[in-house]
């Protein structure tokens, strides 16, 4: 949950700077179909229950629209000292982003989620090796 790890895990993040406890100023570059843009905003971690759950709130603004996301993460014990992670979230889009259609946005969401978990796996492997 440190800024360096988060910037490597969250897809598209090009800059993440801590501004307060669990609040970060962010710059994100995302390409969605034929549309791409730089988003500036905040990422906030809240409702933190250590080793159990937390909420990630992202508010991003750009010339092509705004995105506000709330994602709840839950951690729970698995087999053989493993930790399982579940999540659910909601995203509100405005502007050109909102007009792109569910089919395009659904594919982009799935891609970003896969990148997030792939990046997280790489980060965990790096930290385990260190």
Partners of 120 in the β-ladder: none
pLDDT in tens, 1-60: 788 888 889 888 989 999 999 999 999 988 766 667 889 999 999 999 988 999 999 999
Q: CA-CA distance, 95 to 46, in Å (whole number)?
A: 27
Q: CA-CA distance, 51 to 34, in Å (whole number)?
A: 39
Contact present, 27 and 40 (Cβ < 8 Å) = yes
User: Domains of the chain, with CATH numbers?
Assistant: 3-125 (3.30.530.20)
Q: CA-CA distance, 128 to 123, in Å (whole number)?
A: 9
Q: CA-CA distance, 42 to 26, in Å (whole number)?
A: 5
């Amino acid at each position: 949950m440190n800024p360096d790890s988060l910037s490597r895990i969250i897809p598209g993040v090009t800059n993440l700077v801590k501004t307060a406890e669990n609040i970060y100023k962010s710059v994100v570059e995302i390409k969605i179909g034929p549309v791409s843009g730089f988003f500036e905003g905040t990422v906030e971690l809240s409702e933190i229950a250590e080793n159990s759950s937390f909420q990630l709130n992202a508010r991003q603004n750009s010339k092509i629209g705004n995105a506000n996301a709330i994602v709840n993460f839950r951690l729970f014990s698995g087999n053989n000292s493993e930790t399982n992670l579940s999540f659910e979230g909601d995203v509100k889009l405005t502007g050109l982003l909102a007009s792109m259609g569910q089919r395009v946005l659904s594919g982009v969401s799935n891609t970003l989620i896969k990148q997030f978990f792939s990046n997280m796996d790489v980060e965990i492997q790096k930290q385990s090796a260190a």
